[in-house]
Amino acid sequence: TNLEMTGSLYELDDFGEKLSIRWKNLILPAIVLGIRPLAVVIQLMRNSLLEVMGQDYIRTARAKGLSELKVIRDHAVKNALNPVITAISGWFASMLAGAVFVEYVFGWNGLGKEIVNALNTLDLPVIMGSVLVVAIMFIIINIFVDVIYAWLDPRVKLS
């Protein structure tokens, strides 16, 4: 398949000058991290969309003569995304934990590999710093999710 099990995402040329990205080294880690959350999100979006399609405002939009594509795109999807956004924000925790192991298994140098090495050597300042970085990432993700909720549902107000 010409896919390498390990290897850096970045590669230098033979002279050590030009830094290029090897996209084929990203395929297997992306599949490992993304396949399970993708399946859950697709199933949740389908179920949520089927539930929303039976609501009264969808029947009203159809009665107004809107095309089915416009009804789905403008009315149904926006209301069906609330539980999906909630699930996606919850999956970030498991994906971040999975990224630590994916970096370690695929031999990438990153925050995950540093966390594992710090845990093996009991390097407390690095462990505390990495916990702080991960906590800040979760705070940013939760703020972003709140902004998306306010955009999707006009009843939600940011204050």
46: in domain = yes
5: in domain = no
pLDDT in tens, 80-125: 888 888 888 888 877 888 888 888 788 777 788 888 889 999 999 9
6: in domain = no
98: in domain = yes
Burial 82-98 (b: 16+ CB within 10 A, else e): bebbebbbebbeeebeb
16: in domain = no
State whether residue 153 is helix, strand or coil: coil
pLDDT in tens, 11-45: 666 666 666 667 777 788 888 888 888 888 999 99
Q: Which pTM was predicted?
A: 0.69
157: in domain = no
Q: Which domain holds residue 130?
A: 34-152
Structural domain count, the chain: 1
